[in-house]
Structure 1
Amino acid sequence: MIVIFGNPELTYAATVDLEAESAILVDADTGKILYEKKADLTLPPASMTKMMTEYLVLEAIKNGDISWDTTTQIGDYPYSISADTSFSGTGLTQNKDYTVKELYTAMAVNSDNATTIALAQLVAGSEGKFVEMMNKKAAELGLPDYQFVNSTGLPNSALGENYPEGTKPDAHNLLSARSAALLAYHLINDFPQALDYSSITTTEFEGKQIKNWNWMLPDMPGYLSAYGYKGMKGLKTGFTDLAGYCFTGVAERDGQRFISVVMKTDSIEARFQETRKLMDYGFKQFEQKELFPEGYQIEGESEIPVAKGKEDSVEVETAKAIKATFKKGEEDMYKVKYNISEEHLDKDGNLVAPIEKGEKIGTVELVYNGEENYKNVVTGESQKTTVDLVTTSSVEKSNWFMLMIGSVGDFFSDIFTSAVDMVKGWF
């Protein structure tokens, strides 16, 4: 079902008439979900599976397990895939060294299945072990709906006897649109260089030119340029007979980035047409803007009481500006509130000296007072934006004599109050 406040079918019917079985649109920087249609429906993702393979290869490079210059040769299994013209393949050569960079580029640009398998074998020793890594990483990243059975997105039945150990011969990879968007979110934020490769339109590999299957990239050659979309940078297409045509897109304009996912569309053109609708909805209906500046103070709440200090209070402010992606026309629906850490307060709700200038004493939370309940793709909960709440000056602790005088005063004040209450009780 679609998870959104109110009736989502009515909410979005007037804005995006989307012809895809499942879809989602996410702010790529904050994870805020801006649109969803049956986003929890689990479907075969086809070659969008390769986003997880890309993640694990880039992680292996980051960890120093391999490098872009590491070389490997092509085994019988990936070679048989590359020689089959029914698969996305460039035709590989055995007994030849290929660098990780060459194999990764062919995978990212041309969705090459054989180079994908070769990379999986290089990283994990076998595709079966790599599949274990895929599912483990999916759990670590918090993907809500997933099943990885191979590194490519092909149905296992297409692999014959080479289907990965530990999986079933008729198994399929499975993802929901929400999981695909979350995987893309982690991929491009944890490894921004992924977009450098996914945005390559054409390149040379094995002595011939290969083209990107993402026709929405600007400057695609020939008739494909008609599908170009301003700001499109990636990320991964997919197709099998069971999956239909699907696409995870990433586009950026004027510092604003969106991740879109459409699953099970009817044609290669439709997946791009429906993606265009989603991206247009994002760029036309939403904007990213600074709502509250650095150093902002809530009127009437700029000072917090201080106990045991040389001053009775201290001013507080936001440590950073608060930026957000919000629907145009809803800017006035956002306010902020202070959330002061209990560890900094005494039983009376006062800060306790000593306090350093610039000390974090809590957070400032952005509060939305509109009708929608925008969720976050990472947390699965309502979108939450916070910055640190800090003090603008220091407050020294009072010396022992002043603290003693204060304590004595409090003691006699309590006695006097008790006596007054007792006398009142007589009458």
Structure 2
Amino acid sequence: MLLCSVLCLQPISFAAALSITATSAYVMDADTGETLYEQNADLRRTPASMTKVLTSYIVHQELEKGTLTLDTQVPISANAAAISKNANYPLSVPLTQSSYSVDTLLTLLHVPSASGACVALAEAVSGSEAAFVSRMNATAQQLGLDAVYYNVHGCGPNKITARSQAKLTRHFIDTYPAVLRYTAQSSVTFEGKTYTNGNTLLGGNYAGADGFKTGTFGDSGYCLSSTAVRGGRRVIAIAMNANSRATRISDSAQLLDLGFAEIARRDASRAATQVTLSPSGSARTFAPITVTADLSGLTAVYYCKARWYINGNPVPGYGNDNFYAKNGRVSTLQYVPNGTEGDTLTISLTLTMPDGAERTGTVTLPLEHTALTLGGYLNPSAVTCYPGVSIPVKAVIAADAPLSSLRVSASWQLDGQPIPGFSNPLFRIDSGAATSAYTLTLPADAAPGSHTLSLVLAEGSAAEHILSCEITLLDAAEAAA
């Protein structure tokens, strides 16, 4: 079976060429979620105004739900107005009117990083900043972020890892790509004053840059989450605790450069990948066949989607959306034909790359059909009882076939529905006999009447056989009366 791998490729071959001041850094391929570089990426640090990314994300959730529109007028409370004019809350962008549109406040949040705008939006969504912060922490948990928040603007002890900041940024762009309309702006004029974006990668200074968020406050150092697109591929870079405004920009440019170079290296490797399949022997119904796939030609490791197919149909349980590909990697398929495939088996493993390109290995085998007759019984075959009891049932299985060892699918079912966790696609029958046991526990509120517990063998094939136990449930309420 294809096993999931952790999305982490570290170190990369040219990481030593980096010269950055940030003490935590992380670079992600936004299309695949792959780690392209990391340095202290799982150490919680103060994000400062990068906090505002989650604040904006929650506002965008409300826009999606329709509880807010971009034209909705947001009242400016005395609290929000005071914070907007307080130089201790970067950045100070005075809110002088009684209300502003959501669109205006989001622009101020993203471009000059206005803390007062954050508070006004939080109060509009949740009634108070404290209530909004509770939602931020709940949302962070739902998104799987390693983070904790105490305020909506970042002027305080909020904490997040560089990896989680990248994960949030990727999810935000994937879910609400319109946010880039805000993050890509290098400046904005508001009430007669022009405010610049601290992310000076924008405005053509770094090719393809379109956001995302700066942060500087207290012990945070100088932070920047940045993103850029080149050739249809997006890179997300996080630099935390750089030593100046200038170095957080140069650090981020280096990290983005590294990301694009690493994507190009991995794309070249994807294009050169070869998949070779090797079956263990001939194919015969109800006898397991093992097929191994060997990868070669790769010049760099990468992640992709991988799926095994039989006659063009995906094999259940044999797929992985985060398959770790490298030279010498082996993936193994174990499959038991049941005769529904026809007279041949065309077996393939397909690797699907982020751009949709595919690399496939294929082998076609003649399928020899085995005459198979199944029989047997369940003990007991009938039960009358009240709800709330447990019924141990044993299956005694007989098989008539020329093979001494068989594999068939086996599934315990109640009233025709599979019981989760009690199925086996490779159930073994040796020397014409096998047993299986299951204990059915009937809930106390089970409906009275007739029910059927079954063991279904070789489902869907010409040899399908069903062993059944008929259960009659009496009315517990009537018995108590």
2:195 is aligned, of 197, 210, 216, to 210
2:126 aligns with 124
Q: Distance in 2 between matches of 1:151 and 1:286?
A: 34
**Residue 324 and residue 99 in structure 1: after superposition, are their counterparts in 2 closer, same or farther (change >3 A)?**
same
* Contact map agreement 2:49 2:214 (CA 8 A) in 1: yes
Indicate whether 1:199 and 2:181 are aligned. Answer: no
* Contact map agreement 2:20 2:247 (CA 8 A) in 1: no
- Measure how far apart 1:413 and its partner are: 11
**Residue 389 and residue 404 in structure 1: after superposition, are their counterparts in 2 closer, same or farther (change >3 A)?**
farther
1:350 aligns with 336
Residue identity opposite 1:89 in structure 2: S
- Measure how far apart 1:135 and its partner are: 0.6
Query: Could you report, residue by residue, the CA deviation over 1:181-220 in whole angstroms, capped at 9, with x for unpaired residues?
Result: 111121112221122210012233234333222110134x
- Measure how far apart 1:241 and its partner are: 3.0
Trace 1:27-46 onto structure 2 (pairs within 5 A): 27-46=29-48
Trace 1:211-360 onto structure 2 (pairs within 5 A): 211-219=196-204, 228-287=205-264, 289=267, 298-300=276-278, 305=283, 307=285, 315-316=311-312, 333-334=326-327, 349-354=335-340
1:101 is aligned, of 88, 100, 103, to 103
SS in 2 for 1:289: helix
2:91 aligns with 88
Indicate whether 1:177 and 2:169 are aligned. Answer: no
1:15 aligns with 17
* Contact map agreement 1:28 1:258 (CA 8 A) in 2: yes
- Measure how far apart 1:353 and its partner are: 4.6
Residue identity opposite 2:149 in structure 1: F
RMSD: 4.5
- Measure how far apart 1:234 and its partner are: 0.7
**Residue 110 and residue 338 in structure 1: after superposition, are their counterparts in 2 closer, same or farther (change >3 A)?**
same
Q: Distance in 2 between matches of 1:316 and 1:338?
A: 18
Indicate whether 1:189 and 2:174 are aligned. Answer: yes
SS in 2 for 1:278: helix
Q: Distance in 2 between matches of 1:286 and 1:389?
A: 21
The answer to which of 33-42 and 298-307 deviates more is: 298-307
Trace 1:107-118 onto structure 2 (pairs within 5 A): 107-118=109-120
Residue identity opposite 1:237 in structure 2: T
Q: Tell which has more relative contact order, 1 or 2 (C-alpha 8 A, sep 6+).
A: 1
* Contact map agreement 2:275 2:361 (CA 8 A) in 1: no
Query: Could you report, residue by residue, the CA deviation over 1:218-257 in whole angstroms, capped at 9, with x for unpaired residues?
Result: 34xxxxxxxx111111100011132111100101111221
Higher helix residue share: 1
SS in 1 for 2:92: coil
Q: Distance in 2 between matches of 1:413 and 1:181?
A: 52
SS in 1 for 2:94: coil
* Contact map agreement 1:20 1:262 (CA 8 A) in 2: yes
Indicate whether 1:154 and 2:167 are aligned. Answer: no
Q: Distance in 2 between matches of 1:279 and 1:353?
A: 53
Number of residue pairs the alignment of both structures matches: 342
Q: Distance in 1 between matches of 2:357 and 2:330?
A: 10
Q: Distance in 2 between matches of 1:255 and 1:413?
A: 53
Q: Distance in 2 between matches of 1:106 and 1:58?
A: 15
Query: Could you report, residue by residue, the CA deviation over 1:5-49 in whole angstroms, capped at 9, with x for unpaired residues?
Result: 88x5x9666221221111111111111111111112221110000
- Measure how far apart 1:60 and its partner are: 1.4
Query: Could you report, residue by residue, the CA deviation over 1:348-398 in whole angstroms, capped at 9, with x for unpaired residues?
Result: x41335359xxxx9975689xxxxxxxxxxxxxxxxx999999999x99x9
Q: Distance in 2 between matches of 1:289 and 1:11?
A: 15
Residue identity opposite 1:186 in structure 2: H
* Contact map agreement 1:337 1:366 (CA 8 A) in 2: no
* Contact map agreement 2:350 2:359 (CA 8 A) in 1: yes
Q: Distance in 1 between matches of 2:200 and 2:13?
A: 30
- Measure how far apart 1:90 and its partner are: 2.2
Residue identity opposite 1:114 in structure 2: G
Q: Distance in 2 between matches of 1:318 and 1:335?
A: 24
1:61 is aligned, of 56, 60, 63, to 63
Q: Distance in 1 between matches of 2:328 and 2:404?
A: 43
- Measure how far apart 1:334 and its partner are: 4.6
Residue identity opposite 1:75 in structure 2: S
Q: Distance in 2 between matches of 1:304 and 1:193?
A: 55
1:410 aligns with 402
* Contact map agreement 1:337 1:364 (CA 8 A) in 2: no
Residue identity opposite 1:354 in structure 2: T
**Residue 291 and residue 283 in structure 1: after superposition, are their counterparts in 2 closer, same or farther (change >3 A)?**
closer
SS in 1 for 2:254: helix
* Contact map agreement 1:317 1:391 (CA 8 A) in 2: no
TM-score between the two structures when normalised by the length of structure 1? 0.67
Query: Could you report, residue by residue, the CA deviation over 1:136-177 in whole angstroms, capped at 9, with x for unpaired residues?
Result: 111111112x1100000012xxxxxxxxxxxxxxxx111121
**Residue 299 and residue 192 in structure 1: after superposition, are their counterparts in 2 closer, same or farther (change >3 A)?**
same
- Measure how far apart 1:412 and its partner are: 10
Residue identity opposite 2:63 in structure 1: I
Residue identity opposite 2:136 in structure 1: M
- Measure how far apart 1:127 and its partner are: 0.6
TM-score between the two structures when normalised by the length of structure 2? 0.60
SS in 2 for 1:352: coil
Q: Distance in 2 between matches of 1:353 and 1:64?
A: 53
Q: Distance in 2 between matches of 1:363 and 1:118?
A: 53
Query: Could you report, residue by residue, the CA deviation over 1:74-105 in whole angstroms, capped at 9, with x for unpaired residues?
Result: 00111001122443132112423x11111111
